[in-house]
């Protein structure tokens, strides 16, 4: 018998949307929570439309959107090579090879085959922390997913708007306390902005916001009622369960 303890598995396989999506992801470092599921639910994609997931990671958001919208086509862009491989594995794991693909690339130096204005919708979950603002605990193996690198929030917004077609939508999920920075980057570049707060519970300040805008439209901005995530007992609310377990879309 070996005296060496068994090594921890490098990956785990988890389930999203009540088991409809299988997601292989790293056992350590950044792990998918509920943010990409809500991001995917906020994109108003229709069958046969083309959607770009910027910084797709292991592919959670794009897989959730593919499950909700039949015949939609998804492209993921990810700069970390190991996550590109993992997202590709997850596409195969869910039998979505005919509708989804992922490519390696940096949004500051995108692959030539990514054509500006080619997508009906773009979605992104940008890093939440400005470089230098994150606490040391955040600067770990998951730092590339949570702390801005060379591409700051302005770069994420510019790239997303460049990739979407005229009248198409860009959708972001971000920290509520960075709402001013996010809206400031969208202002003058897109309209019909909708801010959709995700409230942790009744009477609690929002910690996350979904922000959606349409390119080359001038409709005024709107603050939506948002969604309360948890009830009195800490369980997910019926509305949150509809998104997380049943794969419903959000009406922003």
CATH number at residue 158: 3.40.50.150
d(CA 41, CA 3) in angstroms, rounded, equals 48
Report yes or no on 5 lying in a domain: no
Report yes or no on 238 lying in a domain: yes
Report yes or no on 251 lying in a domain: no
Q: What is the pLDDT along the chain (252 residues), one digit of tens a residue?
A: 445 555 555 899 999 999 999 999 988 877 888 999 999 999 999 999 999 999 999 999 999 999 999 999 999 999 999 999 999 999 999 999 999 999 999 999 999 999 999 999 999 999 985 655 555 444 444 545 555 466 899 999 999 999 999 999 999 999 999 999 999 999 999 999 999 999 999 999 999 999 999 999 999 999 999 999 999 888 999 999 999 999 999 999
Report yes or no on 179 lying in a domain: yes
CA proximity to 127, closest of 144, 141, 139, 107: 144
Report yes or no on 71 lying in a domain: yes
- β-partners of residue 116 are none
Q: Which domain holds residue 31?
A: 11-244
Q: Read off the pLDDT of residues 91-115 as tens digits, 9 standing for 90 and up.
A: 999 999 999 999 999 999 999 999 9
d(CA 133, CA 130) in angstroms, rounded, equals 5
Entry pTM: 0.90
Helix/strand/coil for 162: helix
| Count of structural domains within the chain | 1
Pairing between strand 73-78 and 222-223?
unpaired
Place of tokens 């509708």: 99
The tokens for 123 are 């979605």
CA proximity to 38, closest of 160, 182, 207, 165: 207
d(CA 71, CA 19) in angstroms, rounded, equals 20
Largest CA distance in the chain: 70
Report yes or no on 210 lying in a domain: yes
Report yes or no on 27 lying in a domain: yes
Beta strands in the chain (DSSP E): 11-16, 21-26, 50-54, 73-78, 100-104, 119-124, 164-175, 190-199, 208-215, 222-223, 227-228
d(CA 144, CA 82) in angstroms, rounded, equals 12
Place of tokens 């910690």: 207
d(CA 17, CA 221) in angstroms, rounded, equals 30
Cβ neighbour number for residue 192 with a 10 Å cutoff: 16
What DSSP line would sit under 7-55, residue for residue?
A: PPPSEEEEEEGGGTEEEEEESSSS---SHHHHHHHT----TT-EEEEET
| Burial label, 51 (beta-carbon count in 10 A; 0-12, 13-18, 19+) | buried
- β-partners of residue 100 are 74
Report yes or no on 1 lying in a domain: no
Cβ neighbour number for residue 33 with a 10 Å cutoff: 9
């Amino acid at each position: 018998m070996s005296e060496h303890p068994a090594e921890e598995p490098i990956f785990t396989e988890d389930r999203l949307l009540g088991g409809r999506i299988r997601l292989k992801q790293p056992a350590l470092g950044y792990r998918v929570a509920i943010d990409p599921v809500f991001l995917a639910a906020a994109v108003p994609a229709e069958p046969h439309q083309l959607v770009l997931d910027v910084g797709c990671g292991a592919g959670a958001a794009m897989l959730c959107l593919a499950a909700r919208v039949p015949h939609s086509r998804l492209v993921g862009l990810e700069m970390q090579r190991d996550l590109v491989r993992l997202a590709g594995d997850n596409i195969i794991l869910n039998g979505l090879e005919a509708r989804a693909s992922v490519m390696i690339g940096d949004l500051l130096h995108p692959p030539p085959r990514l054509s500006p204005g080619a997508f009906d919708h773009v979605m992104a979950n940008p890093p939440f922390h400005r470089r230098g603002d994150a606490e040391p605990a955040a600067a770990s193996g998951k730092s590339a997913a949570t702390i801005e690198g060379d591409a700051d929030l302005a770069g994420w917004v510019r790239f997303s708007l460049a990739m979407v077609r005229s009248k198409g939508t860009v959708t972001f999920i971000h920290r509520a306390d960075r709402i001013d920075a996010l809206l400031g980057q969208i202002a003058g570049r897109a309209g019909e902005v909708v801010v959709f707060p995700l409230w942790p519970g009744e009477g609690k300040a929002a910690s996350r916001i979904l922000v959606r805008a349409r390119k080359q439209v001038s409709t005024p901005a709107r603050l939506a009622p948002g969604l309360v995530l948890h009830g009195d007992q800490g369980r997910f609310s019926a509305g949150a369960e509809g998104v997380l377990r049943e794969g419903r879309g959000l009406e922003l």
